[in-house]
Chains A and B, each alone.
Chain A
Amino acid sequence: MRKEQTLGEVLAAKGVSRRGFMKFVAATTSLMALPPAMIPKVAAALENARRPSVIWLPFQECTGCTESLTRSHAPSLEGLIFDTISLDYQETIMAAAGHQAEEALAEAMKLNDGKYLLAVDGSIPTKDKAFSCIGGKSNYDVFVEAAKGAAAIVCVGTCSSFGGIPAAQPNPTGAKSVTEVLKEAGIDKPVINVPGCPPLPNAITGVLAQYLTFGQLPELDHLGRPKAFYGQNIHDRCYRRPFYERGQFAETFDDEGAKKGWCLFKVGCKGPVTYNACATIKWNGGTGWPVEGGHGCLGCSEPGFWDWGGFYKPLSQGQWGGWKTLGVAAAAGAAIGLASVAVTRSRQAKARQEAKV
C-alpha cells in the first residue's frame, strides 16, 4: 500500500462497500460521542485521510494488547483502518528483524520527526534499565528518544498507561507508566491512555480514527482516557444491575445465584469502580464480555487494579490484618486496661491509707 493513498481509496480497493463504510463511520461517530450531524464530515475526513506514521514500541508487556487488536474479528473495518495507518515499527507483526528493524525505526523517526504517533504497549523498567532491552538499548532510552520526536503518544493497555502487572507490588523492576517516565525525563507531549488488559480494539481504533479525522486527540478524563470509551461506569451499564438492586447475588461461582445470572459483586466484581465500554461495546464482535461469561470485572482499565487485594475479594472487604493482628490488638488493650486498673487501685489504696492517718 502506497503511503500517499487515502483511506477511501484503500477501502475501495479492499472491496468495502459504501454502505459498509458509512455503517462504520456512524458507529465510530457515535463512539466518539459526536452528534449525528457530524457523520458526513467524519466520513469525508476519513475518506480523504492520509496515512499517518505510527511507531509502536513494546516494552514490559505480554502482547495481549496487540492480540486484542489484530485478533479482534478480522477481517473488520477496524482492521482495515489499522491497515491504513503507516505502521512503521511494530515488533510483533513486522517482517524485519534485528538490525534491519532498528534501522526501520530510526528511519521512520527521522523522516516523520515531530509528526508521528507513538503507540506504547508495556511499562518501562526504571530500577535497572538493563531489565528490558531491545537491540542493546534499554526500554527507557528507546522510549525517551522516540518520545522526543512524537506528535502525540498513545498508551495501549494498562501497563503503559498506569504501570500494570509489571508494577504490581513489590514492583521488582521499578516499572513505570509512560506519563511517569515523561515527567521524569522532562518531556512534554500529549498523552492519551487507552487502558485495559487488554483494551477494547474499538477503543484503540477509535482513538486512531479520531486522530485521522480531526488530526487531534479526543476529549480525555482525569486519567487521560478518552471519555467516549471510558466515560461510563461498568456497574451503571451492567445488564446484571437489576439483580444488585434486588439484593440477589451469586455467593460462589457455581451456586444457584451464579446459574441464574445474578450480580457478581460478592465474588469480587470491580464493576462499580471501573470505567470502560465493555458492557456496551462488548468483545469478540459484540458477542459477549467477561461479566456475561460469568466472571466479575477485574477493573483492568483502572490504575492499581493489580494491587486491590485480590480479584475475588468484594469491594466492601479490605485488608483487615487477620485474627492474629486483632488478637494482638485485643491483648494490648487488655494490658493497657490492667495497667490502668493497677495504677488506679494503688492510688485508691494510698488515699485510703492517708485518710486513716
Chain B
Amino acid sequence: MTLLEFARGPGMQWALVIFLVGVVWRLVGSFLLARNRDLSKPKGTAYAKAGVRAMIMRSIPPHELEKNIQFQHLSGYAWHLGFFATLLLFGPHVPFFKQFLGFGWPTLPNIVVLVIGGFTLAILIALLIRRAIHPVMRQISTLDDWISVFLVIIPLVTGFLSYSHVEIGAVRYETMLALHILSIEVLLVWFPFSKLMHMFYTFPSRYQVGVAMERKGVKA
C-alpha cells in the first residue's frame, strides 16, 4: 500500500471516525454538564434576544480595547476566512465534500484561490512568529496553541507544494498529495481534543453568556 493509498483509504476512514467520536463525545459531555440551579429572581427574560446580541457583539472588538487588539482581531478574521475560502472554493476540494453531501458548488479560478491561500499562510506564519516573540503571548501559549496553529499551517504548505508539482528529492506529486491529505487527517484527529473545538463552542458559549447576563440584568 502506497502512502497515497493509505491516505485515501484507511487513513481517511479512521480520521473521520476519530473526529466524529471525539466531537460528539465532547459536545454531549459539555451540553449535559450538571449546573447548579439559579434560585435568584430573573431581572430580565428576553433570553433569545440577549443570546443573539451577545453572539454578535462579542464577535466585534469592544470599543475600549479596539486599538490594542486591532491587528490580532483583523488578522484572525482574515486567516479564518481565507482558510475556509481555500478549503471550500478550490475546485479539486469540492469532490471531497461532494462524496458526503451528494452535491457540489461553483468554485473560484485556481489563481484566485492561490492568492487567498498565500495570504492566509502569510498571516498564520506572522501570528506564529508573534506568538513566539511577544512576551505576553509566549507566557499564555500552551502546547495546544502551538500544535493547533502548526497543524493548520501544514495543510496549506503541503497544498501549495502539491499544487505546484514541485519535486523535492524523491518526493513527487503523488507523495506530496498524500502528505497533504494526511495533514488534513491529522488535523481531524487532533481537532476534538484541542482548542480547535472552538469551532463548535464559540457561538453557543457566547449565547449562553448573553442569556446569563440577561438574567442578571447586565447589558453585556
**Once the chains bind, are B8 and A247 in contact (CB under 8 Å)?**
no
Among B5, B11, B34, B107, point to the contact of A247 (Cβ < 8 A).
B107
Q: Does A337 contact B (CB under 8 A)?
A: yes
Contact of B20 among A251, A308, A329, A348 (CB under 8 A): A329
Q: Decide yes or no whether B24 CB sits under 8 A from chain A.
A: yes
Residues of chain A lying within 8 A (CB to CB) of residue B57: none
* With A304-B2, A308-B5, A333-B20 as contacts: A320 and B165 at CB distance below 8 Å: no
Is A284 among interface residues, defined by CB-CB distance under 8 A? Answer: no
Bound-state CA distance A266–B95 (Å) is 7
Q: Kindly report which residue of chain B lies nearest to residue A302, judged by CB atoms.
A: B174
Q: Assess whether A319 is in contact with B25, with CB atoms less than 8 Å apart.
A: no
How many A residues touch B, CB cutoff 8 Å?
43
Chain B residue nearest to A249 (CB atoms) is: B91
Contact with B along A140-176 (1 / 0, CB 8 A): 0000000000000000000000000000000000000
Q: Which residues of B lie under 8 Å from residue A222 when comparing CB positions?
A: 170
Tell yes or no: B129 within 8 A of A by CB: no
Contact A308 B8 (CB under 8 A): yes
Mostly, the B contact residues are helix
User: What B residues does A345 contact at CB under 8 A?
Assistant: 34
Q: A249-B91, A309-B8 are in contact. Are A317 and B111 (CB under 8 A)?
A: no
Bound together, the chains give a CA A319 to CA B98 distance in angstroms of: 13
Which residues A233-264 have CB closer than 8 A to chain B? 233, 235-236, 244-247, 249, 251
Residues of A contacting B16 in the complex (Cβ-Cβ under 8 angstroms): 320-321, 326, 329
Q: Once the chains bind, are A334 and B24 in contact (CB under 8 Å)?
A: yes
A222 to B174, CA, bound (A): 13
Contact B93 A319 (CB under 8 A): no
Of the candidates A235, A265, A318, A323, the one whose C-beta lies within 8 Å of that of B165 is: A235
- With A320-B99, A337-B26, A344-B34: A326-B20 Cβ-Cβ less than 8 Å: yes
Decide: A330 and B95 in contact? CB cutoff 8 A.
no
A314 contacts B92, C-beta separation under 8 Å:
yes
| A128: Cβ under 8 A from any B Cβ | no
Residues on the A chain within 8 Å of B170, using CB = 222
Q: Answer yes or no: A130 CB below 8 A from chain B CBs.
A: no
Within 8 A of A (CB), among B16-42: 16-18, 20-29, 32-34
In the complex, whether A273 has a CB less than 8 A from a CB of chain B is yes
Q: Are A317 and B99 in contact (CB under 8 A)?
A: yes
B9 touches A309 (CB 8 A): yes
Contact with B along A284-322 (1 / 0, CB 8 A): 000000000000000000011001110000111111110
Q: Which of A251, A320, A330, A336 contacts B13 (CB 8 A)?
A: A320
Chain B contacts of A79 at CB under 8 A? none
The answer to whether B21 touches A336 (Cβ under 8 A) is: yes
Nearest CB of A to B156, in Å: 16
User: B74 on the interface (CB 8 Å rule)?
Assistant: no
| Complex interface: chain A residues within 8 A of B12 (CB) | 318-320
B7 close to chain A: CB less than 8 A: yes
A71 to B34, CA, bound (A): 77
The digit string for B64-103, where 1 denotes a CB below 8 A from any CB of A, is 0000000000000000000000000011111110111000
Is B217 interfacial (CB 8 A cutoff)? no
How many Å from the CB of B114 to the closest CB on chain A?
A: 10
Complex Cα distance, B138 from A323, in Å, reads: 42
- Chain B residues positioned under 8 Å from A63 (CB to CB): none
Contact with B along A324-355 (1 / 0, CB 8 A): 01100110111011101100110010000000
Query: Which 5 pairs show the lowest CB-CB distances between chains A and B?
Result: A337-B28, A333-B24, A318-B8, A318-B12, A314-B95
Q: Which residues of B contact A (CB under 8 A)?
A: 1-2, 4-5, 7-13, 16-18, 20-29, 32-34, 90-96, 98-100, 104, 107-111, 113, 165, 170, 173-174, 177, 181
* 24 A-B pairs with C-beta separation under 8 A: A249-B91, A266-B92, A266-B104, A273-B177, A308-B8, A315-B177, A317-B99, A318-B7, A318-B13, A318-B96, A320-B12, A320-B13, A320-B16, A329-B18, A329-B21, A333-B22, A333-B23, A334-B25, A337-B25, A337-B28, A341-B28, A341-B29, A344-B33, A344-B34
